[in-house]
Amino acid sequence: MSLSPENPGTAHTATPELNRRTVLKRASALGLLAVPAVGLLQACATGGGSTPQDQSTGGAKSADNPLGVDPSAALEVVIFSGGYGDTYATKYHVPLYEKAFPKAKVTESSTQDIQGTLQPRFTGGNPPDVVDNSGTKFMDFGALVGDDQLQDLTTLLDAPSVDDPNTKVRDTLVDGTVDVGTYNDKPYVLNYVFTVFGLWYNAKLFQSKGWTVPTTWADFTALMTKIKAAGITPYGYAGANAAYYQYYALLTSAAKIGGADILKNIDNLEDGAWTNDAVKQAAAAWAEVGKTFSDKSYLGLIHTQVQLKQDQDQLAVYPSGNWLENEMKDSTPASFNYAVMPIPSVTTSDKLDVSSLMAVAGEGFIVAAKGKNPKGGMEYLRRMLSKEGAKDFTTATGSLTSVNHASDGMQLSPGLSSSSDALSKAKTAFYFRFDQWYKDLDTECRAATNELFFQGGTADHFCQRMQAKADAIKKDSSITKFKR
C-alpha cells in the first residue's frame, strides 16, 4: 500500500474492527448494492526550506470559490500511472478544475516512480501541487508529515461541497475516509478510492470446472489440489513488485484468526505484535501454499505478467484489490469474468467470520504545503470529490471512490459487482496503516513475504524478522511515530 524526525504523537483513526451494520452502511453509501451489469497503498522526505516566495496567496472567496483560490494561478498535478492509469485526470478531473478557473493553466503528468521522480523536488522545495502518492515506489507519508511537507487538509474538509453548499466536504465521504488519512490528529492525506481486498478468480472457469468457493482452509487446499491436477497453477503473485499483495492476504488471515486488534498492535509497534500466534499461524498456512501450490518463477515477475497468466487461465487464484479488473481490461478475454472470494478461515476457531475482509479507502492524494498553489491543490481535490468527479473516476477506472452515493444508478462490471456483494455480506471490515506510516517496515515485509512464500522461509523466521524490524523502528528516535 504503501507506505523521520523526532516528535512522536498520536493519530486518531477509525476503529479497526467494523460491525456488520457499519459495513452495510458503507456498502449502501457507496452504491455497492446496485443491481450488477456487465462492464466495472517512501524513503525519507527530508528537505524543506521556507515557503516559496512565489507561492500563490490566493484570491477572493466566494460561493463558487470557498477556499479563495487565485483563479489565474497555475496548478501542477502528478498522477501515479498504475492500475487506474491517468485518463481519469486528463479527461475528467483536470477539465473540471479548468472549467471552474478558465484562466488557470493546469499541467498534468504521470509516472510509475513517484518517489524517484518527486522526492528530489520535495527535498529541493519545488514540489508539484497535487500528487497521487501511490504504487510500489511511493514517497514515505510519515516522513513527509514529519518534515512539514504536506498541507493540512482541514480547510478542504470543512469547506462546502461542490454539490451542496450546506454540506461540508467531510460529510460527503464514506465513514473512516478522513481518519485513515489522519496523522497526529491532522488530516494530511485524501484516500480517494474505496478498495475491497480478497482472492480473485475467473468465475466462468470455476463454473465450467465445477469448482466451488472455499470457506475453510481444508476446502481451500483441497481446491488447490484439484486445480493443480487440472494443469493450472493454483495460486500465485508477482514477487518482483507486488509482494504486498500477498502480505495483505497473510495479514488478513492473521486478523481473522486473532481479531482485528492484531493489525492495530502491528501499527502501534507493540512489543511482540509480529510474533503473536495468530501471525505465526497465518504465515505457516501461506508458506505451505507457496511451497505446494505456486510457481517459484513468479518471484521474478511483475504484477501484470502474473495477471496476464491468470487472464489466460494459467493461474487460478490471485490476491489483489478491486483495481485488478480495470488494470487488465485490455487483455481480459470474453471467457473471463473477474470475481472475488473472501480469504478462507485458517482455523476452526478464528475470531472473525469467514465473510470478514480487508476494505478501506486508499490511493492517497496529497497537497504539497510548499508547492506554488496549495489552495488550488485543495480545490482540485474538492472538485474530485464532487459527485461528477467521483462518477467520472468510476467510469474511467471501473473502481469506486470514497464519495457517498457517487455510484448510484451506475452499472457495475462483474468484478465490481462481486466485490460489492462480498462487502455487503461481510460481518467485519478491517485495515492496517503501518505500510503508510513506516516505509521501511513495508519494504521489509515485502522481502520477508517473498522469502516465506517462494524461498522456503519458515513462519517463525518471518515473524522474528518482522518483529526485529518493528523493534528497530520503535527504538529509532529519528522516526516520527503514529498511533491508533
Kindly write down the DSSP assignment for every residue of 439-467, as one continuous string: HHHHHHHHHHHHHHHHS---HHHHHHHHH
Please tell me whether residue 113 adopts helix, strand or coil conformation.
coil
192 alpha-carbon distance from chain centroid: 9
- Whether the pLDDT of residue 3 is over 70: the answer is no
d(CA 324, CA 196): 11
Kindly list the structural domains of the chain, giving each domain's residue range(s) and its CATH number in brackets, ordered by start: 20-195+360-426 (3.40.190.10), 196-357+434-475 (3.40.190.10)
What pLDDT was estimated at residue 31? 55
Average pLDDT on 243-268 reads: 98
Q: Which three cell numbers stand for residue 155?
A: 480547510
Helix axis angle, 243-258 to 277-293, nearest 10°? 130
What pLDDT was estimated at residue 6? 19
d(CA 180, CA 232): 38
Of 200, 199, 201, 182, nearest to 191 by C-alpha is 182
**pTM attached to this predicted model:** 0.79
**DSSP summary character for residue 379:** H
Rg (CA), the chain: 22
Distances (CA, A) of 208 to 39, 145, 312, 325: 21, 51, 15, 20
- Whether the pLDDT of residue 466 is over 80: the answer is yes
Calculate the dihedral angle through the C-alpha atoms of 311, 317, 321, 323, rounding to the nearest 10 degrees: 10
Of 15, 130, 81, 61, nearest to 373 by C-alpha is 130
Average pLDDT on 289-295 reads: 98
Residues 6+ positions from 376 with CB-CB distance below 8 Å: 56, 69, 70, 73, 75, 97, 101, 104, 129
What pLDDT was estimated at residue 275? 98
**pLDDT one-digit tens code per residue, 375-392:** 999 999 999 999 999 999
**Sole residue written with cell 473512516:** 176
- Whether the pLDDT of residue 13 is over 90: the answer is no
- Whether the pLDDT of residue 17 is over 60: the answer is no
Of 293, 311, 154, 176, nearest to 236 by C-alpha is 293
